[in-house]
Amino acid sequence: MGVFGDQVGIRLTVIGWPASSSTRAGFRIGDGRHVDLFRYAAWLVELRHTPRPQSDADPYEKLKERAAARNKALSLAGRDIGELPGVVSPERKEQAAGDFRFFCEHYFPMTFHLPWSPDHLKVMAKIEQAVLRGGLFAMPCPGRAERRRCASVRASGPCFSATGSSWP
């Protein structure tokens, strides 16, 4: 027990007392080697209950900014897919660039495993013309959804379409 002024307190010998804590307390709680536990506890209570300065910024705007930053970081992380693999067969890719039927049969063999009818071949010729040279056409026939999907995949490549987008 030690005496600080006219009060009786507990003196703690502090080994490795962090300088920042004693500085923040303003040396009000000890003499540099010892700490008055009661004064330290009172200082902590006072520090805890001191009102924080009011911010001029709108709290909702701060929340929106934090959410936007978090979403941007997640989006950027999701875009990092690494290096694209090389083309397995450049000859096959080159032949598929000029022949939609070949493209469907070789890149989607599980979808296009049945023989083609003459109507299918006519529709495929029109699809190929629309993909390579542009244009629109409408022709109702069964199974057209898969051909449209394959035409979309094929049209997304640089050697298949006039738009020049990339596809390995």
pTM above threshold 0.75: no
Domain of residue 120, residue span: 90-155
pLDDT tens track for 49-62: 888 887 777 889 88
Instruction: Give a yes or no: residue 151 inside a domain.
Output: yes
CA pair distance 93, 95, nearest whole angstrom: 5
| CB contact at 8 A, 115 and 125 | no
Amino acid (1-letter code) at residue 143: G
Would 80 be classed as within a structural domain? Answer: no
Position 167 in a domain: no
Domain assignment present for 96: yes
| Number of structural domains in the chain | 2
Indicate whether 70 belongs to any domain.
no
Q: Could you list the pLDDT tens digit for every one of the 168 residues in the chain?
A: 444 444 444 444 444 445 455 456 655 677 777 777 888 888 888 888 888 887 777 889 889 999 999 999 998 888 877 788 888 888 998 888 888 888 888 888 888 888 888 888 888 888 888 877 877 777 776 666 777 777 777 776 654 444 443 444
Q: Mark whether 94 and 146 lie in a shared domain.
A: yes
Q: Model confidence over 113-139: pLDDT tens digits? A: 888 888 888 888 888 888 778 777 777
Q: Give the count of beta carbons closer than 10 Å to the beta carbon of residue 56.
A: 5
In this structure, are residues 158 and 165 in contact, taking their beta carbons and an 8 Å threshold? Answer: yes
Reduced to 3 states (helix: H, G, I; strand: E, B; else coil), residue 145 is: helix
Q: Is residue 122 part of a domain?
A: yes
Q: Please report whether residue 24 resides in a domain.
A: yes
Residue 161 lies in a domain: no
